[in-house]
Structure 1
């Protein structure tokens, strides 16, 4: 069994570069399915969940190219829709919780989706009601295939509506937003999540041609459009990682330089640690 041996009493120094945020990366990568044009994403973290999703995109027929460290291009011109119903696809989804965010883009653009119960860390209740109910409100139908242990989702065409989310779920809001941007009419989402990573997704979608209003608030209004286009996007640094580095410097009374932190998105984290000092 692996272990860490930590010897205290030493000052720290130097520069630290936080990696891109995993939770934002999973949303952004799924969102590239919403257009047939090329999307370039920078600062993608080199971690297992993200790498597995990137490989899953390749398996789905998305053209994926690594341009530099942390920079990839995605072009979902002609995904393999037959693969999206295969046992292999469902098996891979079952081991990757972020795969649930494929539902919104796939139903919005291809009018159908199939996905197994997603895996992921066991950190308490992580229900999917917000995802399913929100997309159902837009006109999709859900059924559970007991033989394949998979959800089957279909929609002839999504239509805008108003909804009150019972939970301000970040991934749930992201999934609903990705579905609503290509729905007919206007969608109003009350009690929407407003965290920085969700804001980043909405800003990227707007650059692609979506019409999302109320970004950074708990009330989102989305005017559906016919299609989206390519864009370029840079993922925020992981705020939990940045906060941990700040805490590490404070607790050891050390001087560290944390670069590329996107300070304006850190909220109360810097002030909290300043008061501790």
Structure 2
């Protein structure tokens, strides 16, 4: 298990390039199973979750060829369906929540699949009903082995259907779209997720020969085709990394330029950080954050306390609420952070309170942050990263704090952030990775 040793209080400066989007990568990589032809993908992030999925694709028989630092070729001409019955598959798929998105492509192309109950972050209940109900409406039949926590799915005759999703699940929508792309007849998906990463998947499938209308909306129409072809795809910059870097710059009073940020795809992320008082300039596709000694949280028009809550796209992504929370600790003013989607994501605030932050955890979903306006600096402590996003929030807090901090279990951070310690050191951060 690795740890980060961090000496805080250093002002950073320079340029940083965001990695390819993790949440997009987990969808796009699974989509290579839809065709026996070569699929070339660029801007693949070198992070634990993505590398685990690539390793799983190799085990399934997909030919994987790395042609550049961030580029791969995938050819799923031969897929070993017998691998599903192995203990190795069970272990690897169960450790990666993204493995759930193998189902859609496998059902579409081969008519069957098996998967253990997937793993992932311990951030609250993350049900799979949306995926499975969608597959069932397309004609799939399920058998669950409760003793082994294993799902067997028969989809030998998928047919198009009208599907009204009970929640606008991004991964659920992606899975159903991939399955429907080769189902017989027309599928309509209402209350579909419409995140940029889902749009990217749909555009990639269209280039492969799929027939999808309504991309970017919550109403998708899919006409099934008999086969899909190879294609080339470049992933968007990771919006969660970009939001994290904006927060990092503000907390450490640093002047940072985020290069090639894909500004048009960020939605209200920049505006939400601006409501916390963070200044930024858009220079083409770059975001420049100047050094700020103070930043002040806005209030609503009637003077009431600002509330920042997560919502389905085009609302504010839940993956950045923990960043908003930590950034608010050194702002001037008060904000209520409302995490609606996951009931355990705010529990990391006890570490921030130990560092000197003024936070009231109202309940599992809401926390009130009273900004200190830098009158009292955070202090370094020893802590453990509970999940990817909380881990980076604690890292940002440690980089801004007085003294030395230690963050254990940084493998959680590595799941979502590519070489984060190396990249931050290039900006002037004092951070060391220690293996134990």
The verdict on a shared fold, with TM-score over 0.5 as the criterion, is: yes
Deviation string for 1:84-107 (max 9, x for gaps)? Answer: 232321221111111111111101
- Show the counterpart of 2:62: 62
- Show the counterpart of 2:99: 99
- Show the counterpart of 2:243: 243
Structure 1 window deviating more from structure 2 (87-96 vs 203-212): it is 87-96
Deviation string for 1:42-97 (max 9, x for gaps)? Answer: 11111111101101101100000100001111100011111123232122111111
- Show the counterpart of 2:196: 196
Rounded Cα–Cα distance in structure 2 between residues aligned with 1:187 and 1:56? 29
Shift of 1:249: 2.3
- Show the counterpart of 1:7: 8
Shift of 1:4: 4.1
- Show the counterpart of 1:183: 183
Any conservation in 2 of the 1:250–1:273 contact (CA below 8 Å)? Answer: no
Shift of 1:36: 0.5
Q: Tell me the secondary structure at the aligned position of residue 233 of structure 1.
A: strand
Shift of 1:20: 1.1
| 1:215 and 2:222 correspond | no
Shift of 1:3: 4.6
Rounded Cα–Cα distance in structure 2 between residues aligned with 1:71 and 1:190? 34
- Show the counterpart of 1:166: 166
Shift of 1:147: 4.6
Any conservation in 2 of the 1:61–1:76 contact (CA below 8 Å)? Answer: yes
Deviation string for 1:129-175 (max 9, x for gaps)? Answer: 00000011000000112454310001222100101111111001110
- Structure 1 or 2: larger helix share? 1
Rounded Cα–Cα distance in structure 2 between residues aligned with 1:7 and 1:273? 22
| 1:22 and 2:22 correspond | yes
Rounded Cα–Cα distance in structure 1 between residues aligned with 2:161 and 2:79? 28
Rounded Cα–Cα distance in structure 1 between residues aligned with 2:267 and 2:92? 36
Rounded Cα–Cα distance in structure 1 between residues aligned with 2:12 and 2:3? 24
Q: Tell me the secondary structure at the aligned position of residue 189 of structure 1.
A: strand
Q: Tell me the secondary structure at the aligned position of residue 99 of structure 2.
A: helix
Q: Tell me the secondary structure at the aligned position of residue 100 of structure 1.
A: helix
CA RMSD of the aligned region, Å? 1.4
1:74-113, aligned counterparts within 5 Å?
A: 74-113=74-113
- Show the counterpart of 1:47: 47
- Show the counterpart of 1:149: 149
Rounded Cα–Cα distance in structure 2 between residues aligned with 1:254 and 1:64? 40
Q: Tell me the secondary structure at the aligned position of residue 105 of structure 2.
A: helix
After superposing on structure 2, the runs of 4+ consecutive aligned residues of structure 1 that deviate more than 6 Å are none
Rounded Cα–Cα distance in structure 2 between residues aligned with 1:29 and 1:233? 10
Rounded Cα–Cα distance in structure 2 between residues aligned with 1:252 and 1:47? 25
Rounded Cα–Cα distance in structure 1 between residues aligned with 2:148 and 2:253? 55
Aligned length, in residue pairs = 276
- Show the counterpart of 1:133: 133
Structure 1 window deviating more from structure 2 (45-54 vs 267-276): it is 267-276
Structure 1 window deviating more from structure 2 (262-271 vs 187-196): it is 262-271
Rounded Cα–Cα distance in structure 1 between residues aligned with 2:180 and 2:7? 49
Structure 1, unaligned runs of 5 or more:
none
Rounded Cα–Cα distance in structure 1 between residues aligned with 2:33 and 2:60? 10
Any conservation in 2 of the 1:16–1:257 contact (CA below 8 Å)? Answer: yes
Rounded Cα–Cα distance in structure 2 between residues aligned with 1:12 and 1:90? 43
Q: Tell me the secondary structure at the aligned position of residue 67 of structure 2.
A: strand
Flag the structure with larger Rg: 2
Shift of 1:13: 1.5
Rounded Cα–Cα distance in structure 2 between residues aligned with 1:52 and 1:252? 33
Shift of 1:273: 3.1
Structure 2, unaligned runs of 5 or more:
280-436
Deviation string for 1:239-276 (max 9, x for gaps)? Answer: 01101112222344432111121110011122333451
